[in-house]
Amino acid sequence: MKHFRRALLGMTLATVSVSAWAQDIIVSGTVKDATGEPIIGVSVIQKGTSNGAVTDLDGHFSFKAPQGSPLVVSYIGYATQELKAGSNMTIELKENTKQLNEVVVTGYTAEKKADLTGSVAVVKMKDIADVPTGNVLQSLNGRVAGVNITTDGTPGGNNTSTLVRGTTTINNSSPLYVIDGVMTRDGVGSILSSNDVESIQVLKDASSAAIYGAQAANGVIIITTKHAKKGETKVDFNASLTLQRFVNNYDLLDANQWGEVYWQAYKNTYGTHPNSLIYGNGDKPVLNTSTPYYTGAQGQTYTAANTDWLDLMYKTALMQDYSVTLSRATDKGATSLSVNWINQDGMLKNTDYQRLNTRLTTDYKFLNNKLRIGESVAINYWTQHQAQGGIEEQLIAQHPAEPVYDSMGGYAGGYIDVLNDKPNPVRLQDNQKNNKHQYWRIFGNAYLEIEPIKNLVFRSNVGVNYYNEFSKTFVPSWIESSRTVNTNELDTYHYHSINWVWTNTLNYNIDLGEHHIGALLGYEAKKLTSEDLGGYGQGLVSETTDYRYLNAVTSLAKVRGIGSNYSMDSQFMKLNYSYASKYLLAFTLRRDASSRFGSNHNSGIFPSVSAGWRISSEKFMEKTHSWLDDLKLRASWGINGNDEIDNEATYTKYLVSLSNASYNLNGDNQHLSSGASKTHTGNSDLKWEQTQQINFGLDATLLNQRLTATLDYFYKKTTNMLFEPPYPGVLGEGGYSWQNCIDMDNSGFEMTLGWRDRLHNGISYNVDFNGSFYTNEIKKLPEAIYYTFGGGMPGQSIVGHPFGSWMGYKTDGVFHTQEEVDEYKKKYDVQIGAPGVGRIKYLDINGDGKINTADQTWLGCDRPKFSFGVNLGASWKGFDLGLFFNGMVRKAWNNSKYYTDLFQTWNGNHSTRLLDAMNAWTEYQSTGYYNCDTPALTTLDSNNEARGSDFYIENGNFVKLKTATLGYTVPKSLLDKISLRSLRVYFQMQNVFTITNYTGADPEGLGYTYPQPRTFTFGLTLGL
């Protein structure tokens, strides 16, 4: 009993002690910087909770918290501290040098971001982590100054192209991708999952990219994948479910409206109404949906309908994305395994994409970290059902009165009366349902690093990119109305390639007081081998999927096959020097020898030099330190190359063929002997296509690193561009030959601005802006193509204009009155077209008083004059909100106006703008004034309005809310209770809205592309 009383007394005292320790107190104090000045807006939070305060104008804070509980003190531009809660605290924050010491990968090595002298953009991966996509490059669109991403809504994101600082060459202008040291120009989406990406750097100028020499003229994008970090075993899981909705920017006529427009157009042309199987022969059109307009051979009937082809072919679709990563790292090694599965249904009927990505990454250390080995290997498998080529355009042009199916369930068709001759798009896309497209890729690298002496590192890296593709395309026999095709056909295609690269480098870095020297020497060899094999045939006896093989064809059996090789041998060096991180100098030199060039010029030298001056470190700048954190000026010059041409460009090639090069040698007119025909003329004097570039830049951080700015001006001159010009017919077959013959200039200005801060109420926010201005100009053409290249004509060369410029007629709206028409015809000798009220008015550009082909001129191009992106972010107590806008300033050639705005040029569907034209003509008949900008309705193109003119050119400017994201991160105090390391849930919308005057499908992706969907995504990221 005595011992029990003692134990009870001890427990009571312990409880009282714990209660006393846990009792809340008034936590208060002042936060100052190193000079003793108070800091406003510092966040002082009890760790693992939302309990805390923000410092006031005098740097003071005060709130209740348990005595001795851990506090987290943080402020932008300063290192975060953890302290124990108390009263009357004095806290001194130290400036955060993390930004200046941040290391970025710049090609075969890594450098401090603060010491960079070239133009290098670093992508903020946290800004794109939530974007659901099969291709990580899609999410970069508008987020990096100087980088233009063109994409569409194709499932998997494989129709994505990238330009760095505009179009550098008329050949392949896509940048070089370097993934874990392995170079490729293949689609990034087929190589890795977005969840595997650790960092992305873009090398934009010649100085930063010159280390890649002949492959770097179009810029370099370096992607580094995730490796396990030291710590306990971790499991990370990401999942998202995305709803994709079709967004239609076209307002097209329905079948009844089409009839009304047709009746008016016919009356305007001939003065009476037409006679139609589909719409009758009365004063007003009546869509005949009861009487068949055609009866087939098997008794099937075809009756007009009111079909909305866009609504029929596009649907709401789902996309699922799951990823899991297991990782563990110790002092001696690290291992990471990731698996990703994407299943994306396309909005377009019978299109989809499925992909399985796996990646294994290991890193091991031996001999006290003097020996390091590792690898990163990804195995990817994906399948897809594709859209029929050109179907996006066809759905706009398809006649709305054409039915989908006949009376027996077969495919209906037009080819009769007013129905056009385009095939049934449902049939075309149904054919894709069983067509097989399968792909494999093995992509990875293995490395060995040895550090024989301090600061000297030898690295040997072997990379492999193996690709295998198989496709089977079958077109069954079919019947559509009056048209019958009784023969089916099968095409089978197989392609595989292997690309290996072996890189060996010596890297030495040493600090001698305030002097830092870094030197890199390297040797690299790579080779690409590819081969394809295909077969084609017709007349398969059975059309079931079990018999769709080449051995089942009965006629027109053909085989084809070809192989190709390409290799490069390279030596390179780089020297970096800095004094006190104030005076910076870098020199790079690379020699490349390519098998694509002949022995006369198969190697090229690519040098670069750059310098930087951290002017903010000078003594005369000391008075600016209160508001200027860092200011660096940069300048660079260099030469990059491009060898993206045919692998056999230097060789004269012949094709041995029975069909194209046979001859009846014995003269019996019956037996043919195979011969060889010349297909290409070699050129052993081909030189490297070279791009010389200068760059001037500025990097600055201000106001305790709250404001950041990067400005760059560049000028690129590409000379000796490779081109196959037309040849005189007297040369005979195979006269095409690659030549160095075109020069082109690019210049531009880029800016990146960022602001981040924390408000007194604890809300942190950031605003980031990037913008790019560009100009492009063809500077030189050979005499043979001076007036014909790029769409030119006699007296109108594209020299002095941007590559991709349009040639055509200038217009001045339409004629509104008969008086305008009479005055115009009196003033000009109209040799093309027939002016009339409501017709397009073409201008006399050369001033000769004639309207003819000589009035064609350059009309501009769709290259962006200015592109930009704005990212807005805010966070508060675990909640985060992000809004990303992007936009462009440019002209746009809206080729859909050929269908939508001109009734006479196409016997298919049109825009509802023709209803305005119809009503305007009715008004004109009573007022004498045609009050409409859309050309008047007619069935004859007597004014030749299908010709290329600025009638088709529109203001292509747009601003788009690309993504809007709302997320919540569960606090650590709650996670500890449920044994989780991290948990975040989010909701995101993509393509929320677009502000534009463009009347086509999408100003972001011009032409007839697979439409970009408006998406709604629910996702979570979870860590164990």
Structure tokens at 897: 């106006």
Give the percent of the chain with pLDDT over 90. 66
Confidence category of residue 101, pLDDT binned at 50, 70, 90: low
User: What are the CA-CA distances from residue 484 to residues 291, 297, 357, 430 (Å)?
Assistant: 22, 10, 44, 17
Q: How far is the C-alpha of 956 from the C-alpha of 994, rounded, in Å? A: 12
Neighbours of 544 (CB within 10 A): 8
User: What are the CA-CA distances from residue 369 to residues 332, 454, 671 (Å)?
Assistant: 8, 11, 74
Q: How far is the C-alpha of 187 from the C-alpha of 465, rounded, in Å? A: 12
Please give the residue that has the higher pLDDT: either 151 or 381.
381
Largest CA distance in the chain: 130
Q: Which of 107, 100, 152, 147 is nearest to 123 (CA)?
A: 147
Phi, psi of 132, rounded to the nearest 5 degrees: -75, 115
Q: Where are the alpha helices (DSSP H) in 250-368?
A: 255-270, 309-313
pLDDT, one tens digit per residue, over 776-797 is 999 999 998 999 999 999 989 9
pLDDT, one tens digit per residue, over 153-162 is 899 988 888 9
Confidence category of residue 845, pLDDT binned at 50, 70, 90: very high
Mean pLDDT across the stretch 730-744? Answer: 85
Neighbours of 16 (CB within 10 A): 10
Confidence category of residue 18, pLDDT binned at 50, 70, 90: very low
The position carrying tokens 């007022």 is: 927
Give the percent of the chain with pLDDT over 70. 96
Please give the residue that has the higher pLDDT: either 650 or 826.
826
pLDDT of 201 higher than 50: yes
pLDDT of 452 higher than 60: yes
The position carrying tokens 């011969």 is: 675
Phi, psi of 22, rounded to the nearest 5 degrees: -85, 0
User: Which of 61-65, 234-238, 315-319, 425-429 is predicted least confidently?
Assistant: 61-65
pLDDT of 8 higher than 50: no
How high is the pLDDT of residue 641? 87
The position carrying tokens 């209906």 is: 412
How high is the pLDDT of residue 98? 55
Q: How far is the C-alpha of 867 from the C-alpha of 890, rounded, in Å? A: 9
Neighbouring-strand partners of residue 19: none
Q: Which of 986, 990, 989, 984 is nearest to 1019 (CA)?
A: 986
User: Which of 21-35, 88-102, 873-887 is predicted least confidently?
Assistant: 88-102
Question: In angstroms, how far is CA 448 from the centroid of its own chain?
Answer: 34
Report which DSSP code applies to 208. H
**Which three-class secondary structure state does DSSP give residue 264?**
helix
Q: How far is the C-alpha of 633 from the C-alpha of 352, rounded, in Å? A: 49
Confidence category of residue 97, pLDDT binned at 50, 70, 90: low
**Which three-class secondary structure state does DSSP give residue 81?**
strand
Q: Which of 244, 457, 379, 281 is nearest to 1015 (CA)?
A: 244
Q: Which of 493-502, 559-568, 657-666 has the highest mean pLDDT?
A: 493-502
User: Which of 378-382, 599-603, 714-718, 742-746 is predicted least confidently?
Assistant: 599-603
Q: How far is the C-alpha of 359 from the C-alpha of 193, rounded, in Å? A: 9
pLDDT, one tens digit per residue, over 223-237 is 998 888 877 789 999
pLDDT of 22 higher than 80: no
Confidence category of residue 60, pLDDT binned at 50, 70, 90: confident
User: Which of 34-48, 128-142, 200-214, 781-795 is predicted least confidently?
Assistant: 34-48
User: What are the CA-CA distances from residue 822 to residues 65, 131, 828 (Å)?
Assistant: 89, 59, 10
How high is the pLDDT of residue 40? 73
How high is the pLDDT of residue 100? 54
How high is the pLDDT of residue 482? 86
Mean pLDDT across the stretch 560-575? Answer: 94
Q: What is the CA radius of gyration of the chain?
A: 34
Question: In angstroms, how far is CA 468 from the centroid of its own chain?
Answer: 23
Report which DSSP code applies to 877. T
Q: Label residue 900 left, alpha or beta by phi (over 0 means left) and psi (-120 to 50 means alpha).
A: alpha
pLDDT of 122 higher than 90: no
pLDDT, one tens digit per residue, over 470-506 is 999 999 999 998 889 999 999 999 999 999 999 999 9
Mean pLDDT across the stretch 614-630? Answer: 92
How high is the pLDDT of residue 53? 82
DSSP string, 542-553: --SGGG-SGGG-
**Which three-class secondary structure state does DSSP give residue 148?**
strand
244 contacts 316 by C-beta, under 8 angstroms:
yes
User: Which of 134-138, 258-262, 352-356 is predicted least confidently?
Assistant: 134-138
Q: How far is the C-alpha of 990 from the C-alpha of 968, rounded, in Å? A: 18
pLDDT, one tens digit per residue, over 981-1007 is 999 999 999 999 999 999 998 999 888
pLDDT of 11 higher than 60: no
Please give the residue that has the higher pLDDT: either 80 or 351.
351
pLDDT of 17 higher than 80: no
How high is the pLDDT of residue 19? 38
- Across 643-788, the runs of DSSP E, i.e. the strands, are 653-657, 675-680, 689-702, 707-723, 739-758, 764-780
pLDDT, one tens digit per residue, over 901-940 is 999 998 899 999 999 999 999 999 999 999 999 999 999 9
Please give the residue that has the higher pLDDT: either 434 or 97.
434
Helix, strand, coil percentages (3-state) for the chain, rounded to 5, are 15, 45, 40
Give the domains, in start order, of the chain with CATH numbers.
Answer: 22-92 (2.60.40.1120), 103-246 (2.170.130.10), 255-288+396-434 (no CATH)
How high is the pLDDT of residue 47? 83
Neighbours of 47 (CB within 10 A): 17
pLDDT of 1 higher than 70: no
User: What are the CA-CA distances from residue 2 to residues 9, 11, 13, 14 (Å)?
Assistant: 11, 15, 17, 19
pLDDT, one tens digit per residue, over 1004-1022 is 988 888 999 999 999 999 9
832 contacts 854 by C-beta, under 8 angstroms:
no
611 contacts 683 by C-beta, under 8 angstroms:
no
Q: How far is the C-alpha of 904 from the C-alpha of 344, rounded, in Å? A: 40
Mean pLDDT across the stretch 139-143? Answer: 86
Question: How far apart are the two ends of the chain, measured CA to CA in Å?
Answer: 49
pLDDT of 973 higher than 70: yes
CB hemisphere CA count around 212 (13 angstroms): 31
pLDDT of 666 higher than 80: no
The mean pLDDT of the chain is: 90
How high is the pLDDT of residue 643? 83
Mean pLDDT across the stretch 409-416? Answer: 90
User: Sign of the C-alpha dihedral, residues 280, 282, 285, 286?
Assistant: negative
